Chains A and B, each alone.
Chain A
Amino acid sequence: MSPARVVRHGAALAWRNLVKFRHTPDQLLDIMLMPVTFVVMFVFLFGNAVSGDWHAYLQFVIPGIAVQALMFVSLGTALSLNTDIRNGIYDRFRSMPIARSAPLIGHILGDSVKYVLAIVLVFALGLVLGFRIDAEAPAIAAAAGLMLAFAFAICWIATLIGVAARSAETVQALSLVLIFPLTFGSNIFVPTGKLPGWLQAWVKINPVTQLSDAIRGLLLGTPAYATIARSLLWTAGIVVVVAPLAVFTYRRRA
């Protein structure tokens, strides 16, 4: 099958995801609910305790919450993919002369809007509350690029979970088992130095920590190139390992 046809099929299925999003705007609520709750809860509840003053904490926590929001969006990707595979609709796709990878491409492409939206919404909320970016356009673009690359990587994790799980409940359970240690076992909410020693070992290597630190650095005018490199390495590593695994599982299942 020619690459042009694969793209056309993928685009048709991405179109499907976008149309669904337009019909059911409450998905927007799913995207927003978690980040808003976390921003409000952490900034006003724990902000003073962690940073001594909630304004300073806001500067610290917003980039991390953006990363967390991406992870929660990926739960939706995994769920919708899983529902599709268990329904008759995938049988129809597979009985048609379309590229086998098209449904996966469609999901990732179609959901990319949600990932962008999640990032934009978290930063918009932050700016309203007083989050201030102290960086030039290239640094901001770099931060956005890092986040989108990471979103692409977790999209593949979500894809793997979506195609491997036998039920929606399993998708939920697996995703949360992954999301919680990655987000709460990171320095999204609490600086690494204030965590217990045994936890610090994990927090320091956690990709979410690397990415949050890299974004903080870029947006707050203190870019740390080693962190950025490590974050990119993680992102690339996840894609290289998980994407083939997801495709393999998909081919066997589908």
Chain B
Amino acid sequence: MIEVDGLVKRFSKTVALDGIELAVPAGSVCALLGPNGAGKTTVVRILATLLRADAGTARVGGFDVASDPDRVRELIGLTGQFAAVDEALTGAENLLLIAKLRELPRREARRRVAELLDRFGLADVGGRLARTYSGGMRRRLDVAASLLGSPKVLFLDEPTTGLDPRSRADVWALIRGLVADGTTVLLTTQYLEEADRLADTISVIDRGRVIQAGTPFQLKARVGGQTLTVRPVEPARVRDTAEIVKRIAGAGPSGDTHGDVVSAVVPAGSDAAAMLAEVAAELRRAGISVGEIGVRLASLDEVFLALTAKELVA
């Protein structure tokens, strides 16, 4: 449903996109994962016909976004990073405006607005000005507005950024519901948990390039599923510990320090148990007493840090 090939975008001197590849089959959810400034939003803006690429092609539903933007616009819904809600209108009026712009017949417009308010848990507050809404309500209204035209493809740019955990869970449930209806979803996020929970495929983007792509499971496996964690008894020895772990777990900044705990991703293909024994022996030789040591499955957060950190070195 979405095909992106060799997409390049420059803003004056900075290269925002440096040859992005992406393929999202119909009815699936793809997450673009990456840190701030990685180029996620730029990809979405090009796909949503808001921005022109400098090179490469992007197709949505078979239509080229550059040469056939109006056909693409018929197919898509966009929820941007900043809530596109008019605060001086009520929730219902916000939706009615979009319905009018979509040229729905009056009766159908009213029906769709009522239906969406209901579905998004906004029926009670539909008559209130949007400026009185909480962040979570605004987001839901925003997503509802992007659904009014019954889009085949929905772009969600950081749909849960700035939301409390409860509203985040609400938005997740909504997105799952959409996919059940057959909508193709492309979402961007900085949260691995979000990508993990929602996406069929994840493309990790860093500095304008896709550095990894696959299912959440494949990504975790590819980077090396395990993490080595050590907590020295004396906090003063954290730095020495980190050096030892770094040396054994392999050079590179994957050795990470959080307060008094040192953790490192076990590289794919290495023997985690042997590494654990080696680290323990080294620590004893250095005279560092260990409060806690072990190997556990890496979280996606660690995978992500490992991936983007490698990029930094390379």
Contacts and interface: CB of A to CB of B under 8 A. Distances in A.
B240 interface: no
A88 B82 contact: yes
B161 to A, nearest CB: 13
A8 B89 CA distance: 20
B88 A23 contact: yes
Contacts of B93: 16, 19
A12 interface: yes
Contacts of A16: 86, 89, 93, 97
B84 A91 contact: yes
Interface residues of A, number: 26
Interface stretch (A28-36, A61-69, A95-103, A168-176): A95-103
A89 interface: yes
Nearest to A103: B101
Contacts, number: 72
Interface string B40-78: 000001001110000000000000000000100110111
B89 A92 contact: no
Contact of B84 (A19, A92, A97): A92
Question: B77, B78, B84 — which one has the most chain A CB atoms within 10 A of its CB?
Answer: B84
Given A19-B93, A96-B73, A91 B50 contact: yes
Contacts of B73: 95-97
A37 interface: no
A93 interface: yes
Contacts of A19: 89, 93
Contact of B86 (A12, A20, A97, A102): A20
Nearest to B76: A95
A89 B86 contact: yes
A97 B142 CA distance: 18
Contacts of A11: 100
B97 A15 contact: yes
Nearest to B155: A95
Question: A88, A94, A97 — which one has the most chain B CB atoms within 10 A of its CB?
Answer: A97
B74 A20 contact: no
A92 B48 CA distance: 9
B48 A12 contact: no
A87 B142 CA distance: 13
A19 B92 CA distance: 12
A87 B131 CA distance: 14
A102 B88 CA distance: 20
A23 B101 CA distance: 21
Contacts of B97: 12-13, 15-16
Contacts of A94: 49-50
B152 to A, nearest CB: 13
A40 to B, nearest CB: 30
A8 B145 CA distance: 19
B145 A92 contact: yes
B50 A95 contact: yes
A91 B88 CA distance: 18
A98 B101 contact: yes
Interface string B93-104: 100011011110
A145 to B, nearest CB: 30
Contacts of A90: 84
A52 B102 CA distance: 60
Given A95-B73, A97-B73, A89 B101 contact: no
A204 interface: no
A5 interface: yes
A88 B84 CA distance: 4
A9 interface: yes
A98 B77 CA distance: 13
Question: A12, A91, A94, A95 — which one has the most chain B CB atoms within 10 A of its CB?
Answer: A95
A89 B89 contact: no
Contacts of B50: 91, 94-95
Contacts of A91: 45, 48, 50, 78, 80, 84
B81 interface: yes
B179 interface: no
A88 B80 contact: yes
Question: B78, B93, B97 — which one has the most chain A CB atoms within 10 A of its CB?
Answer: B97
Nearest to B78: A95
Contacts of A89: 84-86
A94 B101 CA distance: 11
Contact of B48 (A95, A97, A98): A95
Interface in A1-55: 1, 5, 8-9, 11-13, 15-16, 19-20, 23-24
Given A92-B98, A97-B74, 11 more contacts: A9-B101, A16-B97, A19-B93, A23-B90, A87-B82, A87-B84, A88-B85, A88-B142, A91-B50, A92-B80, A95-B48
Interface of A: 1, 5, 8-9, 11-13, 15-16, 19-20, 23-24, 87-98, 102
23 contacts: A5-B103, A9-B101, A15-B97, A15-B100, A19-B89, A20-B88, A20-B89, A23-B88, A23-B90, A24-B88, A88-B83, A88-B142, A89-B84, A89-B85, A91-B50, A92-B145, A94-B50, A95-B77, A95-B78, A96-B98, A96-B101, A96-B102, A97-B73
**In the complex, the 5 A-B pairs of residues with the closest C-beta atoms, listed nearest first:** A12-B100, A88-B84, A88-B82, A92-B84, A97-B73
